[in-house]
Structure 1
Amino acid sequence: MKASYVKPFLVALLIIVADQALKIWVRNNMYMGEEIKFLGDKGMLHYTENNGMAFGMELGGELGKLALTLFRIVAVGAILYGLIHFIKHKYHRGLIMNVALILAGAIGNIIDSTFYGVIYNYAPIFHGRVVDMFYFPLISGYFPSWFPIWGGQDFLFFRPVFNIADSAISVGVILILIFQKTYFKTEEPEPASPNSEVVEE
């Protein structure tokens, strides 16, 4: 493998290994709903599982679950193709590393949804649940009564429970959005100097 391929794929591999190691540890050492606090009430491991997308979002029913898992697999193929294309054509290193983060996160969650049901004997292949554990309820309170739509209701930031794979995807996407002008910068041709043209008599 060429040196230009080693670093992004090594980073992706390390993220996948870390993601799976933590998920397996949580699943084997915590019961559903158990919490291990490391920042008091503001940061903790909270064991939960979801049937759907990143941060616990879901598609309904068995068909929705199957469709989502198959879509993830197709998406990973497309992301992998894009990563190889970017490396081959020497795109910005930041873009390449961020796409590697997204690839790693997608693969990390695919492993859960594809194989965990079979490994832990609770569902057929492609119907496994994604293990989540990071929970940071930093700010809680209530919307004022005059607030549109949610007036009087409670709010919590940050409500979703997530994992390392979700974090890798989010960081990769956010950095691409922030630095897209740098990553996809095109060289503007310099205007020709009037004196550079040779006038034929």
Structure 2
Amino acid sequence: MFFYLLSLIVLLIDQGSKWWVRNHMSVGEHWRVFDPYLHFEYYQNSGAAFSSFQGYGKWFAYLAIVVVGVIIYYRKKGTIRGFVLDAAAAFLVGGALGNAIDRIVFGKVTDFIVWGSGSGIMNVADLAINAGVLLLIVGTLLRSWNERRSYSFK
């Protein structure tokens, strides 16, 4: 249940924040939040990360749906288990679905979060995907460490 609830929360926060940006900002508009550390800039990305593959965004929507299917399959199979890996999977699913919805409905992803001097622009879904990958690495390392530790005591 935790997995589904966290996935839904990530999806709702992502879609709500994008809705707010689309309805309260103009494309290219800047809002200083915590200058110089964080500002919002409305950008529409029709490609992938770092504005690569412009115009091919719908293909990444299909890829996101496949990734979500694979994660759900491995959760049901029992490969993804435990709090950290469950949270990782939820962040990945919520983020992937958030960007997939944008790509399918609008043909592009709404990005607006800029950290520091503008090394990239992202959205809540991207943050969730990054958190999911980080948690996946941590969870995998913890599982490996626990398995080695329990094996050495046998």
TM superposition score normalised by structure 1: 0.67
Pairing partner for 2:108 from 122, 125, 129: 129
C-alpha spacing 1:76/1:90, structure 2 compared with 1 (3 Å): closer
Alignment of 1:109-120 (within 5 A): 109-116=99-106
Distance in 2 (alpha carbons) for counterparts of 1:46 and 1:178: 31
2:82 aligned to which of 82, 92, 108: 92
Rounded Cα–Cα distance in structure 2 between residues aligned with 1:50 and 1:109: 10
Cα deviation for residue 189 of structure 1 reads 6.9
Deviation track 1:65-118 (CA, whole Å, cap 9, x = no partner) reads: 3432222221221122223334xx6822111111111111101100000112xx
- SS across alignment from 2:112: strand
State the Cα distance separating 1:45 from its structure 2 match: 1.1
The equivalent of 1:78 in structure 2 is 70
Structure 1, unaligned runs of 5 or more: 1-5, 117-127, 139-157, 192-201
Kindly indicate which of the two structures has a greater share of residues assigned to helix: 2
Secondary structure of residue in 2 paired with 1:80: helix
Q: Aligned partners of 2:136 and 2:58: how far apart in 1?
A: 29
Name the amino acid aligned to 1:188: Y
- Per the alignment, residue 30 of structure 2 pairs with 35
- Between the two proteins, the alignment pairs up a number of residues equal to 151
SS in structure 1 of the partner of residue 99 of structure 2: helix
Query: Which residue is 1:68 aligned to?
Result: 60
Superposed CA RMSD: 2.1
Determine if contact 1:35/1:47 at 8 Å carries over to the other structure: yes
Higher relative contact order (CA 8 A, sep 6+): 2
Give percent identity, aligned residues only: 28
The answer as to 2:151 corresponding to 1:188 is yes
Shift of 1:190: 5.0
Q: What is the identity, as a one-letter code, of the residue corresponding to 1:111? A: I
Superposition TM-score, scaled by structure 2 size: 0.86
The gaps in structure 2 that reach 5 residues or longer are none
- Give the secondary-structure state (helix, strand or coil) at the position aligned to 2:60: helix
The residue type equivalent to 1:169 in the other structure is I
